[in-house]
Amino acid sequence: MESRSNLIIVESPAKARTIEKILGKEYRVKSSFGHIRDLEKKELGIDIQHDFRPKYVVPEEKKKVVSELKKAVKDSSRIYLASDEDREGEAIAWHLSEVLGLSPDNSKRIVFHEITPPAIKEALQTPRDINHDLVNAQQARRILDRLVGYELSPILWKKVKPSLSAGRVQSVAVRLIVEREREIHRFEPKSYYRVTGEFYIVRDGKVSLVNAELSERFESREEAESFLEAIKDKRFRVADITRKPSERTPPAPFTTSTLQQEASRKLRFSVAYTMSLAQRLYEAGHITYMRTDSVNLSKLALGAAKKWITEHYGEEYSKPRQYKTRSRGAQEAHEAIRPTYLDKEKVPGSAAEQKLYDLIRKRTLASQMAPAKLEKTTITIVPEGSDKSFVATGETILFDGYLKVYSDKEEEEEGEGKGFLPPLEVGTPLQYKQITATERFTQPPARYNEAMLVRKLEELGIGRPSTYAPTITTIQQRGYVVKEDRPGESRQIHLLVLKEEKEKIEKKTKKETFGKERGKLFPSDIGMVVNDFLLDHFPDILDYNFTATIEKQFDEIAQGKMNWTEMIRRFYEEFHPKVEETERSTGRTTGERVLGKDPESGEEVIVKVGRYGPVVQLGRGEGDKKPRYARLRKGQLIETITLEEALGLFRLPRTVGTFEDTEIIASIGRYGPYLRHGNTFYSIPNGEDPHTITEERAIEIIREKREAEKKKVIRIFEEDPSLQVLNGRWGPYIKHGKKNYRIPKGQKAEELTYEACMEIIRKADEKKGKG
């Protein structure tokens, strides 16, 4: 056998490739693809009786990796376990050493702080042994999560609904959303009046305009009106001008959480989409690792940024900085997310990848740039003899600094002229062109979108960069939460307008929409019922500080100051009795709410979570009388539905009228409101109501759909009636029997012959057969 090589094992294959390139032939670098062992999945996997002894197994999908690693170990004389420098990484190293049968004689633990030749060499020169305290901290974390998840979930199966789940992280995420929703429903908007004025002065034939807002708000229309009345004939003048210099410093480079937030805000990417794009960029070698809680940049990156900024913008734009992490529980095993090569402006790949890359690159550059210098000007305008004042503010950029590449405000320069104020002096008399008191309403707290939820979880120290996206997917998959758009409602607002040339105050009304939402997280009924159940019986686990509290103990274990089995035992002795107690003492939870009585039948009206989801039930079903049921509609919640709305659900299905001697029936199904005519179904368009739809309109809908159907068929063939060229939602396609086929680019649907179609079908089937 030829010279036995050194073997390095890292977590990620992309990382393995780069390190292999740096080190050359003497080292083989392989990847473990994360953890290689875990607790047995089908059972608890913990022997409670014997000091919580974990039962670790290599899962099926990891067997191949493990056998390859075993082979590589055989061919190597020295093995370096180079997983990440954090709790999980240490545990991975330990599991590897156990499974691969390594010993301190033939294996060492090393950590890379950067993936650069000097850093890797330094790591190889400072090997150490596995830190078992750190490994134990990880085992405690793992086992606690398993105990919580695998003891709570089955209670939910029994008491609420099968297949549900609960856990240290997901249950708190759901709680945040449920509580926010309730805050929003409890919120009572209060109206107030905001007064704005347009002032001007003519000098040397030139008009200068100033927009200002009254520094005080009024609680009622009467107050606003009497104020306008009082100033109607007054003269105005500039009472004060102040200029204040200010600085704006750039934000830190991206972590997983801040990248998700910015990509959501600026690019409208979902958290999962952002991560999959970042993964591709990482694998192609364009960016550093994308699951990180660190804002650190390597020396290499700092140098590259300084060089690029100085060369392109000048020295005054460069300001090298190292940022400090402020997030709780950060482990900082990696760098911040940054481009591998800062001078690379374009990367190959999709447009979305390029956009995300651009965001990462600009954020990294900005973080190493000088702060922007601004001047904020405030002009105070006072009506003669009044103690109230109008204020106009403007901001001018004296030096743009990092703003040259990156803007961190929602909409920089919203509303024109916001930054600009005309040159005026104290004492200048002004005339008003128009003064308007506009009714406004106080705003409820904002609903979470995915990225806002990640931010909140990170703030609470709950979850890790690698789990933010999966957690959000899980709570949606379980049906606890839905991501939705809501159209919003309309309300009337009052305006009082005072115009220069008119004597009287004009009263107007205007419509505004409020509560419009896009891509926000709403709790479902099941989410609320599960949340309340858990909060009722396991308040400690659902506590926002639970993770922070146990993390302190994990830290103690990591420092060798606490025994991990002791810690788990203490936790379990508190936790488990509550599990048993809950199992014994509580009945089925349905979140039942009694809304009142149906005035027609006198029967009780109840809403609850039924076997197939939330329903309204009419009557208790005493005697021979069976209760009637109706499903709740999208957007309706057990918690907020009114008796009126609930009774409305029983008015369907309803006969709308007759068409071609057949009844038309309107109702709401799984896919929304529909009309049924004989055996054919027609959807009722958005915004129209099956309760009130007229016979006339229903017939119109049926006719329209028939027209569309006619247009749907582009070609039919005598040779084979089961073959059709149709017009579908995504354009023309071929239908043959029950199978659909795409029409290849360059072929016109209207001109396809029978032979051409059969050729397309044959080719497509052939291709499929191979794959």
Partner DNA sequence: CAGTGAGCGAGCTTCCGCTTGACTT
Q: Is 42 in the site for DNA (CB under 7 A)?
A: yes
Non-local CB neighbours of 65 within 8 Å, separated by 6+ positions: 31, 32, 33, 36
Residues 568-597 that bind DNA (CB under 7 A): none
Judge whether 468 and 489 are in contact, CB under 8 Å. no
Give the per-residue contact string, 46-85, with DNA (x = CB under 7 A; - = no). Answer: --------------------------------------x-
**Binding piece for DNA, criterion CB under 7 A, among 33-41, 218-226, 495-503, 552-560:** 33-41
Judge whether 30 and 72 are in contact, CB under 8 Å. yes
The DSSP output letter for 616 is: E
Own/partner contacts of 489-496, CB < 8 Å, gap of 24 or more, are 489/513, 489/514, 489/515, 490/514, 491/441, 493/438, 493/439, 493/440, 493/441, 494/221, 494/439, 495/436, 495/437, 495/438, 495/439, 496/193, 496/221, 496/224, 496/225, 496/228, 496/436, 496/437
Contacting DNA (CB under 7 A), which of 67, 77, 126, 163?
A: 163
Contacting DNA (CB under 7 A), which of 674, 677, 698, 701?
A: 674
Contacting DNA (CB under 7 A), which of 108, 109, 146, 338?
A: 146
Residues 477-506 that bind DNA (CB under 7 A): 478
**Binding piece for DNA, criterion CB under 7 A, among 144-152, 442-450, 495-503, 592-600:** 144-152
Q: Among residues 630, 584, 587, 575, which one has the least CA distance to residue 607?
A: 630
Contacting DNA (CB under 7 A), which of 109, 168, 180, 404?
A: 168
Q: What angle do CA 81, 86, 90 make, to 5 degrees?
A: 40
Amino acid identity of 384? E
Token pair recorded at residue 179: 């509580």
Residues 508-567 that bind DNA (CB under 7 A): none
Q: Is 34 in the site for DNA (CB under 7 A)?
A: yes
Rounded least distance, CB 733 to DNA, Å? 12
Burial class (CB in 10 A: 0-12, 13-18, 19+), 206: exposed
Contacting DNA (CB under 7 A), which of 97, 139, 171, 590?
A: 171
Distances, alpha carbon 587 to alpha carbons 68, 479, 610, 612, 635, in Å: 51, 22, 15, 19, 28
Rounded least distance, CB 611 to DNA, Å? 3
Residues 296-335 that bind DNA (CB under 7 A): 331
Residues 601-630 that bind DNA (CB under 7 A): 610-613, 615, 626-627, 629-630
Residues 636-665 that bind DNA (CB under 7 A): 653
Rounded least distance, CB 747 to DNA, Å? 21
Contacting DNA (CB under 7 A), which of 5, 6, 116, 153?
A: 153
Give the per-residue contact string, 372-391, with DNA (x = CB under 7 A; - = no). Answer: --------------------
Question: Given the complex with DNA, which of 245 and 771 has the nearer CB atom?
Answer: 771
**Binding piece for DNA, criterion CB under 7 A, among 8-16, 312-320, 432-440, 636-644:** 8-16
Contacting DNA (CB under 7 A), which of 79, 136, 149, 449?
A: 149
Dihedral sign for Cα atoms in the order 182, 185, 191, 195: positive
Residues 453-482 that bind DNA (CB under 7 A): 462-467, 470-471, 474, 478
Give the per-residue contact string, 271-300, with DNA (x = CB under 7 A; - = no). Answer: --------x--xx-----x-x---------
Question: Given the complex with DNA, which of 498 and 668 has the nearer CB atom?
Answer: 668
Rg (CA), the chain: 33
Rounded least distance, CB 164 to DNA, Å? 7
> In 10 A of CB 630, how many CB atoms?
18
Question: Given the complex with DNA, which of 155 and 424 has the nearer CB atom?
Answer: 155
Please tell me the count of residues contacting DNA according to CB under 7 A: 74
Token pair recorded at residue 610: 């039924």
CA atoms of 127 and 111, how far apart (whole Å): 8
CA atoms of 7 and 19, how far apart (whole Å): 12
**Binding piece for DNA, criterion CB under 7 A, among 114-122, 143-151, 563-571, 688-696:** 143-151
Question: Given the complex with DNA, which of 237 and 478 has the nearer CB atom?
Answer: 478
Non-local CB neighbours of 326 within 8 Å, separated by 6+ positions: none
Q: Is 13 in the site for DNA (CB under 7 A)?
A: yes
Rounded least distance, CB 146 to DNA, Å? 4
* Residues assigned a catalytic role: 289
Question: Given the complex with DNA, which of 195 and 637 has the nearer CB atom?
Answer: 637
CA atoms of 714 and 729, how far apart (whole Å): 14
**What pairing do the DSSP bridges indicate for beta strands 390-399 and 481-486?**
unpaired
CA atoms of 386 and 739, how far apart (whole Å): 79
Question: Given the complex with DNA, which of 314 and 744 has the nearer CB atom?
Answer: 744
Residues 404-433 that bind DNA (CB under 7 A): none
Question: Given the complex with DNA, which of 610 and 648 has the nearer CB atom?
Answer: 610
Rounded least distance, CB 335 to DNA, Å? 12
3-state secondary structure 379-424: EEEEECCCCCCEEEEEEEEEECHHHHCCCCCCCCCCCCCCCCCCCC
Contacting DNA (CB under 7 A), which of 142, 175, 361, 447?
A: 142
Distances, alpha carbon 50 to alpha carbons 53, 444, 456, 586, in Å: 6, 52, 38, 30
Contacting DNA (CB under 7 A), which of 7, 8, 9, 15?
A: 15
What is residue 769's three-state secondary structure?
helix
Question: Given the complex with DNA, which of 42 and 346 has the nearer CB atom?
Answer: 42
Question: Given the complex with DNA, which of 439 and 603 has the nearer CB atom?
Answer: 603
3-state secondary structure 669-720: ECCEEEEEECCEEEECCCCCCCCCCCHHHHHHHHHHHHHHHHHHEEEECCCC
Q: Is 670 in the site for DNA (CB under 7 A)?
A: yes
CA atoms of 306 and 493, how far apart (whole Å): 53
Question: Given the complex with DNA, which of 41 and 507 has the nearer CB atom?
Answer: 41
Q: Among residues 79, 87, 89, 137, which one has the least CA distance to residue 112?
A: 89
Rounded least distance, CB 360 to DNA, Å? 17
Length of the chain in terms of residues written: 771
Token pair recorded at residue 429: 């008399």
Question: Given the complex with DNA, which of 418 and 654 has the nearer CB atom?
Answer: 654
**Following CA atoms 456, 457, 460, 461 in sequence, which dihedral angle do they give, to the nearest 10 degrees?**
-140
Contacting DNA (CB under 7 A), which of 22, 23, 38, 200?
A: 38
Contacting DNA (CB under 7 A), which of 101, 672, 685, 731?
A: 672
Residues 81-100 that bind DNA (CB under 7 A): 84, 86-88, 92
The DSSP output letter for 551 is: H
